[in-house]
Amino acid sequence: MCEAEQAVVAAQKVLDDFMAAFNARDVRAFEATFNFPSVRLASGKLVLIEKGYHALSMFTTGALAEWDHSAWERRNVLHAGPDKVHIDTRFSRYRKDGTVIGGFDSIYVVTCEDGHWGVKIRSSFAP
């Protein structure tokens, strides 16, 4: 397997872990899927995220007030190098009864920094 293929495997695992930790509402595990500082561009706002930014309250307020879980609908690699992968994604948010809150297109940039693969940049149409 070449370096770019290995990077894709590592980046996809990060997204698997990212979603699993998010759905489990495990802030510590969720933060472990990032490379800080990380950037999120959504709802017309650019947010620089540092370690400790995420809190348990984020799972019950605002756009996530009705939210129960999310799932990836699409994860297509756009570009891959030995230490960075760009991934075109779509995820959906669901209520507890399984009805869809919404589906959102996004781009994730997953990087390897000091041997750790993590989300560095997210740009999405999610609120």
- Give residue-wise pLDDT tens across range 37-50: 999 999 999 999 99
Report the amino acid identity of residue 97: D
Residue 36: which CATH number?
Answer: 3.10.450.50
In the chain, pLDDT over 70 holds for what percent of residues? 99
d(CA 48, CA 66): 25
Report the amino acid identity of residue 84: K
Q: How many domains does the chain have?
A: 1
Q: Which domain holds residue 60?
A: 3-124
The pLDDT assigned to 4 comes to 87
pTM (2 d.p.):
0.93
The pLDDT assigned to 50 comes to 96
For residues 1 and 55, which has the higher predicted lDDT (pLDDT)?
A: 55
Q: Is 24 helix (H, G, I), strand (E, B) or coil?
A: helix
The pLDDT assigned to 1 comes to 65
